[in-house]
Amino acid sequence: MYVIVVGCGRVGSDLAGRLSRSGHDVTVIDYVGSTFKHLDPGYRGRTIEAESLSEEVLKRAGIEKADALAAVTNSDAVNAVVARVAKAIFHVPNVVARNYDPRWRPLHEALGLQTVATTIWGSQRIEELLESPRLRSVFSAGNGEVEVYEFVVSGQWAGRPLATLVEGLECAVVSLTRGGRASLPPVDALLETGDVLHVGATLKPAEALRRRLDATEE
C-alpha cells in the first residue's frame, strides 16, 4: 500500500514509522524540514519539505497513485483542505484527517471526512482511567464514544443467565470466552466462573455492569 502522511509531528512521525515497519511505501510531507528528525531511524520512506496545500506538491508526492492519505498536522484547517482535495479531486480511496481542536470537528463532519479526534479520544480515555480504573477497554470505536470492555465473571454469577447480568443496560455482548474459546453467546447462556465477556458500551453502562458484577449476591 502506498500512503502519504501529511504532517511530521509526534502523530505523523509515529504513524509513518508504523506504516514503514509494516512494509508499506510511505511519503511524509511537512513544510518544516526539522520535523523529520522525529522519524524513526529505521524509517525507509520518502520525505518532502514543502507546503502540503499545494496540489503540485501533492502530485510530486505521488498522490495520483496513492492508496491512502493521512492529514495529521496540528492545523485543522490544513487537515480539512488536504483531506478534501485528496478525496474529491484525486479520488484517493482511503483518507483520514486528524481533528486537533474539537471546535473544528463539525467542519470535518460536514465535509464528509473520516476523522480521528485525538484530543477528544485522549480526554475521554483519561476520564475513564481516573473515574473507573477497574474498567479495561480493549477496543475503541469512532473517537471513543463506544468502547469494548473486558469483564471477568465472578463466582457469585456462576449458573445465572447472561440476560440477567446485562438486563436494563445499554450495552451489547460481543463475545464470551470460556476455556480459551470465544463464542457469540445467546442471551440465555448460563455464566460460569472465570468467563471473559467483551461488551460494547459507553462509559456509564460499562460502570453499571462493573458494579453489578462486583455486587454481593443477595
- The set of cell numbers assigned to 127 is 476520564
Q: Has residue 127 been placed in a domain?
A: no
In this prediction, residue 133 has a pLDDT band, given cuts at 50, 70 and 90, of low
Secondary structure of 150-194 as H, E, C letters: EEECCHHHCCCEHHHHHCCCCEEEEEEEECCEEECCCCCCECCCC
**The domain boundary residue, chosen from 121, 151, 167:** 121
The arrangement of strands across the sheet holding 114-117 comes to 46-49, 25-30, 2-6, 68-71, 94-99, 114-117
DSSP helix/strand/coil, 46: strand
Answer yes or no: do 148 and 205 share one domain. yes
Let me know: does 92 contact 68? Beta carbons within 8 Å.
yes
pLDDT mean across residues, the chain: 88
Whether residues 142 and 99 fall in one domain: no
Rounded Cα–Cα distance for residues 136 and 139 (Å): 9
Domain ends where: 93, 121, 149? 121
The reply to whether 51 and 89 lie within a common domain is yes
Instruction: Flag whether 205 is in a domain.
Output: yes
In total, how many domains does the chain have? 2
Same domain as 137, residue 114: no
Domain containing residue 54: CATH number = 3.40.50.720
Examine residue 210 and state whether it is found in any structural domain, yes or no: yes
Q: Say yes or no to pLDDT of 146 above 70.
A: yes
What is the pLDDT at residue 54? 93
Domain that holds residue 203: 132-214
CATH number at residue 149: 3.30.70.1450
Which of these ranges, 27-31, 143-147, 209-213, 214-218, has the smallest mean pLDDT?
214-218
Give yes or no for residue 51 having a pLDDT over 60: yes
Q: What is the pLDDT of residue 59?
A: 96
Residue 175 counted as domain residue: yes
Pick left, alpha or beta for residue 58 (phi over 0 → left; psi -120 to 50 → alpha; otherwise beta).
alpha
Per DSSP, the residues of 48-69 read EES-TT-HHHHHHTTGGG-SEE
Say whether pTM exceeds 0.85: no
> What is the CB-side half-sphere exposure of residue 44 using CA atoms within 13 A?
8
Give the pLDDT confidence of 72-117 residue by residue, as tens digits.
998 999 999 999 999 999 999 999 998 887 777 777 777 787 888 7
pLDDT (average), residues 123-135: 67
pLDDT score for 217? 45
10, 106: one domain: yes
Residues 12 and 97 in one domain: yes
Report if residue 113 sits inside a domain.
yes
CA 70 – CA 154 distance, rounded (Å): 43
User: Does residue 28 lie within any of the structural domains?
Assistant: yes
In this prediction, residue 218 carries a pLDDT of 44
Say yes or no: 98 and 138 in one domain: no
Q: Does 126 reside within a domain?
A: no
pLDDT at 67: 97
- Per-residue confidence band for 60, with pLDDT thresholds at 50, 70 and 90: very high
Q: Is residue 14 located within the same domain as residue 90?
A: yes
State the average pLDDT over residues 148-163: 92
* Domain termination residue (choose one: 94, 121, 148): 121
Torsional class of 159: left (φ above 0), alpha (ψ -120 to 50), beta (otherwise) = left
